[in-house]
Amino acid sequence: MLDTKFVRENLDVVLDAMRSRNKEWNAEGFLALDGRRRALIGQIEALKAERNTTSKQVGELMRAAASKTDEAQANSAKVEAEAAKERVRAINTEAETLENELAGVEAELNNEVLSLPNLPSASTPAGASEEDNIEVRRWGTPRAFDKEGFEAKPHWDLGPELGMIDFERGVKLTKSRFILLGGQGARLERALINFMADTHGSRGYKEWWCPLLGNADTLTGTGQLPKFEDDLFKTTEGLYLIPTAEVMLTNIHRGEVLDADTLPRRYCAFTSCFREEAGSAGRDTRGLIRVHQFDKVEMVKLSAPENSFDELESMVADAENILQLLELPYRVIELCTGDLGFSATKTYDLEVWLPSYEDYKEISSCSNCGDFQARRASIKYRSVGEAGEKTTGFVHTLNGSGLAVGRTMAAIIENYQNSDGSLTVPTVLQPYLGGLTRIEAE
């Protein structure tokens, strides 16, 4: 989340950032809420000061009444004391009313700030939509199947033919956009998960095994709540199925202060991910590209602010490494301001070549969120200066897919298919499949 004080003092900056993101923001409404909050705080503090003064007067008047030998003077002091007591009671009632109003205003203001997306970094290119994203580089050359004498099949056809994917029974077991993997499909899924986790582990990421359900505080910490609740699956107990392991990995240190010399923290985890994706009907819903449940190996970093953009570049390299080892053609895209995700200040997407689309499709998104998530989740770091002085600040959080497993399987099926309908197993995966080099129809 953005700092309320920063928003108040930099309205033009925030308004420009929201416009660059194509987001509407009611700045006047924010100022009205913030002004009312500060006014209420001032009124409550003034009442508390008056209560303290009046309470002291009560004691003084009671002592004065007890010390008076003249009955009239004693009674007068008692009357004044009772009036002061009555004023204290009235102050308490008035303060309670104002405190209740303040709680409501602060909750409304907090929701307003929680619903504001992150500010794009100065290095994020300006643009209105994905059409304005910038291609940074490409790796690998897509296969020319026509020159090999056959037409490539889409993974949603070849997968079932090889007994690897069963779309119909997935729907029967659950509902549309849930899939069932069988035989070598199930084995390939496990192989990809292990390969990705092992590879990231060898590059300095600590692996975690995470719960698949998170509470509201956890989902709020990474920005899914309150704004994107409709995209989440929720249990009757108020827990949420996680949409990505980023949620859990980032929140491991929620409410903690980390020593600066322990940064960066590099974490990874495999989880199943669950996304309701309200409003996405009809978009890439055929095959494995956009489903409600999918597997993913996620990377997360907690970094000192001055190093976070270097850590983003190295995270992109870690995701690229997986695709290069699998020998899958891809390209790297830098997202413009109008296409940034809610929590990101800068993002690179990796898009893998899919012959069925004759185009590149997203397989990883790597983002620097700055202190946006750390402020929501209260994740800080402590540093010690040369003179021994201690300072604290919010860490910067980064996340990236390393990779989405289902989309990787789709890319392998389509890019590694043979004219006889079989599938060549990528060399790097063969040890994970017991030396299997070829997948044929069962």
The catalytic residue positions are 275, 290, 362, 365, 407
The b-or-e profile of 71-95 (16+ CB within 10 A means b, else e) is: eeeeeebbebbeebbebbeebeeeb
Alpha helices per DSSP H over 222-257: 246-251
Q: Where are the beta strands (DSSP E) in 69-205?
A: 134-139, 165-166, 180-181
CA proximity to 20, closest of 314, 340, 289: 340
Q: Is the dihedral of CA 428, 433, 435, 437 positive or negative?
A: negative
Give the DSSP H or E segment for 365.
Answer: strand 359-368
Give, to the nearest 10 degrees, the angle between helix 184-202 and helix 308-325: 140
Q: Are the C-beta atoms of 300 and 254 separated by less than 8 Å?
A: no
Residue 333 in tokens: 């895209």
**Distance between CA 52 and CA 29 in Å, rounded?**
35
Residue 94 in tokens: 């008035």
**Distance between CA 357 and CA 291 in Å, rounded?**
17
SS3 content of the chain, % helix, strand, coil (to 5): 45, 20, 35
Residue 26 in tokens: 């009611």
Phi, psi of 345 (to 5 degrees): -105, -20
Q: Name the one residue in this structure whose structure tokens are 């004691």.
A: 59
Alpha helices per DSSP H over 115-183: 155-161, 167-173
Q: Which residues, in sequence order, are CB contacts of 282 under 8 Å at separation 6+? A: none
